[in-house]
């Protein structure tokens, strides 16, 4: 019996004015694998990512998540089904602490969110999950720290912690190593390997090809709004068409 993929993207199109940013893109995500979506600037990666997450609607095509058609679902509905996302630039509730931001991820129901502050016992269980989540990514800060006091690198780790604590079956990671220093890049590589060991299903966008090569199980290459190639890393990075897209024509 063939297992259904975690995510199916079928003939997705998206245009802005007269420009078609995504042009009949189709691919599937394998369960418990890390899939990297790569391509040159302007290839349509971020647009497709935002369509998958529900931030912008598709003009055409379908998206199936765990066999359910979520094409017309809102961001909130997709999150409730198990999609959890990070952002290239972290979106923080800057007037809240790390702990308060992370409680929002753990408790998506507003009533439960406020109840968590009122119930001592429930708050203790949430605190335990928060400490464990921060420990997993190596975010060594007091949970009572205001998020506005975090450095850029710490914000990246915080954003990943929030995505991991959000109940999910699919992680969508938007350029996890963009702008980070080499030390944090290596730490994030190790975190990705641990996620793979835990059996997480991940779709990530990333421009750092060395990072992609070291963590991805499967690669989808986009160019000019279309899927150009997909396959194993060792084959993709030797493919003449892929090399031409990144390096230009060769004699």
Q: Pick from 136, 130, 139: which is nearest to 100 by CA?
A: 130
Name the residue among 25, 2, 21, 1 with its Cα closest to residue 12: 25
Residues 147-177: tens digit of each pLDDT:
889 999 999 999 999 999 988 999 999 999 9
Q: How many CA atoms lie within 13 A of 17 on its CB side?
A: 1
CA-to-CA distance for 129 and 60, rounded, in angstroms? 40
CATH 3.30.1510.10 describes domain 7-92+168-247: no
Domain limits, the chain = 7-92+168-247, 95-149
Is this prediction's pTM over 0.85? yes
Spans of the chain, pLDDT less than 70: 1-4, 88-93, 107-123, 247-251
Name residue 171's beta-bridge partners.
84, 202
Cβ neighbors of 101 (< 8 A, separation 6 or more) are 92, 93, 147, 158, 162
């Amino acid at each position: 019996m063939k297992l259904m993929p975690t995510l199916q993207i079928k003939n997705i199109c998206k245009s802005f004015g007269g420009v078609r940013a995504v042009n009949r893109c189709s691919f599937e995500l394998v369960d418990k694998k890390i899939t990297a979506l790569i391509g040159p600037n302007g290839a349509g990666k971020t647009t497709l990512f935002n369509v998958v997450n529900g931030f912008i609607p598709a003009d055409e095509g379908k998206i199936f998540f765990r066999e359910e058609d979520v094409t017309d679902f809102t961001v909130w509905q997709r999150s409730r089904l198990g999609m959890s996302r990070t952002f290239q630039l972290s979106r923080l509730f800057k007037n809240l602490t790390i702990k308060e931001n992370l409680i929002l991820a753990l408790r998506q129901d507003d009533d439960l969110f406020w109840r968590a502050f009122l119930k001592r016992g429930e708050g203790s269980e949430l605190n335990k999950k928060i400490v464990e989540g921060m420990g997993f990514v190596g975010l060594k800060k007091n949970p009572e720290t205001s998020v506005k006091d975090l450095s850029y690198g710490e914000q990246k780790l915080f954003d990943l912690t929030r995505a991991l604590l959000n109940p999910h079956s699919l992680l969508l990671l938007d350029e996890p190593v963009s702008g980070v220093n080499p030390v944090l890049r290596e730490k994030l590589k190790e975190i990705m390997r641990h996620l793979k060991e835990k059996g997480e299903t991940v779709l990530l966008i990333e421009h750092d090809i060395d990072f992609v090569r070291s963590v991805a199980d499967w690669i989808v290459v986009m160019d000019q709004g279309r899927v150009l190639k997909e396959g194993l890393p060792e084959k993709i990075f030797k493919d003449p068409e892929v090399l031409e897209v990144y390096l230009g024509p060769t004699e």
